[in-house]
Amino acid sequence: MCAREAFRILLKCILVQSCPMARLISVGACGRPPTIENGDITTLSLQEYAFGSSVEYRCQNYYVIEGQRNSYCYNGVWTKPPLCIEPCVVTQEDMRSRNIELMWSLDQNLYVTHGDFVEFKCRINFFQGSSNNYRVQCNAGQIPYPQCT
């Protein structure tokens, strides 16, 4: 077979009675692996990958990988790649509009990875509202901010 063809041949032996017989099965190679939003593969991308090859993905800073870190080439098709879940960004403006501040003071924006918690408190001269939950969890870029009055 010509190496430029987009498939490979695997030899699979099947025993029939006492005589082994060989059967050829066409197995496809894969093109470039799928790209993922806010992430990359950890090695240089090739034009073609042999059956059974794999690539490993990583997410950008503060993004959390969800799913299998590797994608595999099977019969000309890549397995499902992972997702990169976005972080939450806690801004001074968002906190000021709700009369809250970080429990642990910072003068800049805070990046909180998906699934992590952040804790707030009321600014001076403001009081907790109806929500008693001032320790909240980042969920795919969204933070349920508490409010002080």
User: Domain check: are 81 and 15 in the same one?
Assistant: yes
Q: Is residue 78 part of a domain?
A: yes
The 10 Å Cβ neighbour count of residue 80 is 10
Q: Looking at the 3D structure of the chain, how many domains does it have?
A: 2
Range of the domain at 24: 7-85
Q: Is the pLDDT of residue 12 over 50?
A: no
pLDDT at 132: 73
Sign for the pseudo-dihedral over CA of 136, 137, 141, 144: negative
Q: Is residue 142 part of a domain?
A: no
* pLDDT one-digit tens code per residue, 83-139: 999 999 999 999 999 999 998 866 677 899 999 999 999 999 999 877 678 999 999
Of residues 109 and 67, which shows the higher confidence score? 67
pLDDT at 85: 98
User: Domain check: are 118 and 50 in the same one?
Assistant: no
Beta bridge partners of 27: 8
| pTM given for the model | 0.72
